[in-house]
Amino acid sequence: MTQLAIESQVFYDAATALHNAGSALFTEVDGKWGALGDCAHMAGTYDEAVRWADSYDKRTNEALQAAINGALAIDKYATVLRQLGFNHAQAEYDATPGDDKGAPPTMPAAPVSAVYTCRIPIPSAGGPANGLIDNTGLKLVEKIGLVVPNGDTDKLGNVATAWAQLQTAQAITQLPAELNRIAGLFDVIKSPEVEFITTDIGRLRISMETVASSFGALAGACNAHKSALEELREKIKKQLEDLIVEIEKLIAETIALNIAASLLTFGVGAVAVTGAAIAAAARWAMPIRDAIVAWKTAKQLEKGVILEEDLAATSKSLADIEKMADDIKPADFKPGAKMPDPAARVDPAGWNQKDTDALWDYTHSGGRELNAAIRDGRVKDSDALQFRTDNVNEALSKLPNYEGQVTRRVSDMPPEVLAKYQKGNEITEEAFTSSSQHPESAFAGETEFQIISKTGKDVSQYAGENAPESEILFKTGTKFDVVDRFPDPNVPGREIIRMIEK
């Protein structure tokens, strides 16, 4: 029996590893949801705490959503790799001659989704009415005249611990290295889609590093808030202890001072209120108020939880990878494609010498000249240039469509032109658009366009000595949707722009 050299196992192994990594990530995040959710009333109700709580709630939801999007994107990409592996196996099987090649390949069954539940949002922070309760009847709180900071230091500490444990969990700390390892599995594969795969896995790695960093930043924010409250309460506690000493001398009664996680309790019941005692409380109210005001000024909690990580952009990037896995159908990858043989030319129906001449001219020096004229608006004033343009378009219309991924690299694009290629924009390329079927055949350049072609044409068999460029050429006026734009994680200084032909 003929033995098949099937590379599909690399894809299957990578898919399994990605699924396991996504599952471990989601399981770890889901396991901490309860501890992170125990944050109700932990910030307080004074104005600065409310603003801090608003920003904390937002950053928390962003971080957790980014983590979930990461698990979804990783798992979705595993599905794509599994399909690609099967495509490779099927192509190898179909290309093997003879009747003794055995049964056709079967694709491994898909595992259960890595994301298996949908949690309710983490509750909002808040707090009790005031961080100081006066049971003595001396109206100390009233004389202070503002809400004593009333955050819950126990909850802040517990939530900080949960964030820190999440950041240092094995499923998260080892994820970037595991994604690098998975990308490295494809070093042995020579196929057009490999560059796309390694780039996408690189983006997943960068995104997950950002998510892990945000977990640490949220832990730090909660710990900082906790420490600030403890510092203030220690100062107020000392002031209240001094006040108690003075009042106890005046009323000959004992006044208790209790310290809880979210407030201080001054006295357990009413005392014999005297004018002297009320006057003493009034004198101490202002220093306590001053301490609170100074503390607020120093700590600036109203600035909220500030993260260096752009979690919204990270989550969107992950969602885009997940969506792109849906947009790029397995058949579009054309696994196992070979470099074209320029000697084995097969003309389509209706082809003539004019068509051959038009494409030979374009794939040599004529293409650069013609595109420059189109971009400069000189074609409409020149019958000769218009004739050449029409001839290339006519020849292209006779060739079969190339459906799949192509690569285009450009150097020195004018900034005003490059600026148009923003995610979500529709681009109309007025000139012809050249690209390569094989990333390794594309020219060098600091801007790389990764394009899903629907009507591009393979012109390599008419390119003579330039056939190894494996050129896929689009007609003038072709429209594209820009679906992503990001720095190349593997090539410093290069920017990648992804587009899908409309």
Q: Is 64 exposed, middle or buried (0-12, 13-18, 19+ CB in 10 A)?
A: buried
> Looking at the domain that runs over 338-501, which CATH code has it been given?
3.90.176.10
pTM: 0.61
Whole-number Cα distances in Å, 197 to 84, 111, 139, 314, 439:
11, 21, 69, 18, 12
pLDDT band for position 40 (cuts 50, 70, 90): confident
3-state secondary structure of 482: strand
What pLDDT, on the 0 to 100 scale, is given for residue 161? 96
Given a cut of 80, whether residue 135 has pLDDT beyond it is no
pLDDT given for residue 251 in this prediction? 66
pLDDT in tens, 185-200: 998 887 656 767 887 8
Q: What is the mean pLDDT of the chain?
A: 80
Pick the closest to residue 126 from 146, 107, 151, 103 (CA basis): 151
Mean pLDDT value across residues 277-302: 78
> How far is it, in rounded angstroms, from Cα 71 to Cα 149?
38
pLDDT at 475: 97
Measured distance CA(211)–CA(406) in Å, rounded: 31
Of 358-372, 385-399, 421-435, 470-484, give the lowest mean pLDDT range: 358-372
Residue 349, SS3? coil
Domain-wise residue ranges, the chain: 8-127+152-232+308-325, 338-501
Encode pLDDT of 219-231 as tens digits: 999 999 899 988 8
Residues forming a β-bridge with 452 = 405, 500
Share of the chain above pLDDT 70, in %: 78
471 closest CA partner among 399, 385, 398, 384: 399
pLDDT tens for residues 397-446? Answer: 999 999 888 999 988 788 899 999 999 999 999 999 999 887 765 566 78
